[in-house]
Structure 1
Amino acid sequence: MKLITIHSEYIKLDTFLKLADCVSTGGMAKALLQEGMVKVNGESEERRGRKLYPGDQVEVEDCGSFQVAAQ
């Protein structure tokens, strides 16, 4: 599992996916989410604006597993 460090209280899921190098654009993030390829804390997630906080875990098919970490 790879740690992704954020410098604020939370990060939105679409921004997180770009930071984790799983997608390069917001449109790609939207498509990935609509296809059900993203899980947050073990549950499928489709909302691009979902707020992620330190300790949350994100699994992305064909990209890997990540954990949000505070700076």
Structure 2
Amino acid sequence: MDIEDVAITGDMIRLGQLLKYTNVAESGADAATIVASGDVRVGGEVETRRGRQLVKGDVVEIATPQGTTAYRIA
């Protein structure tokens, strides 16, 4: 599985914002649905909080019908 780096300018980004930024979700409501489905993992653990704060080095995996996509906060 390839991991795509996502550069952030501040100290953190929220999970919902990351999903929108990477075009996984079209809106905040869409991001909430994706996270609530249990298809998102942060550091290998299922994450159900759209507001979860992600910091540099965190790896987010999203399971989709096309396969798993992974992003590392850089």
Q: Which residue of 1 aligns with 2:50?
A: 48
In the aligned structure 2, how far is the partner of 1:39 from the partner of 1:6? Answer: 19
Does residue 1:66 correspond to 2:71, yes or no?
A: yes
Q: Segments of 4+ in structure 1 off by > 6 A? A: none
Q: Find the partner of 1:32 among 31, 34, 37.
A: 34
The letter of the residue matching 1:47 is: R
Q: Which residue of 1 aligns with 2:6?
A: 4
Distance 1:8 1:24 in 2: 22
Which 5+ residue runs of structure 2 have no aligned equivalent? Answer: none
Structure 1 unmatched runs, 5+: none
Percent identical residues? 33
After the TM superposition, which of the residue ranges 41-50 and 59-68 deviates more from structure 2? 59-68
Alignment of 1:8-19 (within 5 A): 8-19=10-21
The AA in structure 2 aligned to 1:49 is G
User: Normalised by the size of structure 2, how large is the TM-score?
Assistant: 0.89
